[in-house]
Amino acid sequence: MRYHPHNRHFLFFVQPDYEEMSRRAARHLHAKVRERPDLLLCAATGGTPTRAYRLFAESWENHRREVSRLRVVKLDEWGGLPPGDAGTCEAYLREHLLGPLGVTPDRYLGFRPDAPDPAAECDAVASALDERGPVDVCVLGLGVNGHLGFNEPGPALHPHAHVAALSRESLEHPMVRHAAGAPLFGMTLGIGDILRARSVLLLVNGAHKREALRRLITGPVATEFPASLLWLHADVTCLCDADAAEGL
Ligand code: GLP
């Protein structure tokens, strides 16, 4: 099933379940890398893209050379967690994407969770992204409050990589439930970095995302719901599962 709620720049595809959504996402990413072998992939973490990353990595199992130029930038990171903590986005990406695909350090850009000066860390990521960017494909999950990365709802959004205050919803995110301590802040690419990406792949699954997906589809473009800014983007593919799309 496919929706055309407003325009042809923002395509929705509803898949029967999480597995099918992930398969389609993996195929989408695979095709993008075939088109552009040195593609710069911006990678969200969290529960949503895990299976898609696994299938994407598996899809290159017998063609590793073809993916040997892929570049990755980490969308966001918790600040204040010990570097080796399993709850960090770094640990997640190493396990699910960088390790399985053999992404070498020269092809990876990411905020260090224990950076001594987080603002300087964000500035360093911003200028590295200026040189290496723009992002070719930005994989995003949808926060239950509409956040993208740690671009949290509020009266204003920040265009570039920055230190972000975390919302209650982010502080309660399952990733950090078992972390050694509570994260103190977030570091995230900005909404401008996302909007400058050549294309966006937004993944949304589960009944707990239903209300956020409804707001995305029906709501106004407003900084109080950062994902709505994606309506300003020229090339968004949103893959969701039937649970998230129920009733829409
Ligand atoms: C988290 C992460 C984001 C992620 C989003 C959704 O806070 N910072 O990178 O995309 O929220 O997470 P999930 O996919 O687990 O719902």
* CATH code of residue 48: 3.40.50.1360
Residue bearing tokens 């792949």: 201
How do residues 211-233 score in pLDDT, each as one tens digit?
Answer: 999 999 998 999 999 999 999 99
The percentage of residues in the chain with a pLDDT greater than 90, rounded to a whole number, is 90
Pairing verdict, β 76-79 and 185-188 = antiparallel
The Å distance, Cα 197 to ligand 1 centre, comes to: 18
User: Which stretch of DSSP H or E encloses residue 139?
Assistant: strand 137-141
Q: Is 48 among the domain residues?
A: yes
How do residues 94-122 score in pLDDT, each as one tens digit?
Answer: 999 999 999 999 999 999 999 999 999 99
Q: Is 246 among the domain residues?
A: no
- Residues 209, 198: Cα–Cα separation, whole Å: 25
Q: Is 26 among the domain residues?
A: yes
Mean of pLDDT values over 52-68: 95
3-state secondary structure of 232: helix
Pairing verdict, β 162-164 and 185-188 = antiparallel
Domain count, the chain: 1
Residue 7, domain extent: 2-238
Q: Indicate which atom in ligand 1 lies nearest the CA of residue 203.
A: 14
Q: Is 244 among the domain residues?
A: no
Q: Is 248 among the domain residues?
A: no
pLDDT band for position 131 (cuts 50, 70, 90): very high
The Å distance, Cα 145 to ligand 1 centre, comes to: 10
Whether 46 lines ligand 1, by a CB cut-off of 6 Å, is yes
Q: Is 98 among the domain residues?
A: yes
Strand order in the sheet with 162-164: 76-79, 185-188, 162-164
User: In the predicted model, is pLDDT for residue 142 greater than 90?
Assistant: yes
CB contact at 8 A, 209 and 142: yes
Q: Indicate which atom in ligand 1 lies nearest the CA of residue 170.
A: 7
Q: Is 119 among the domain residues?
A: yes
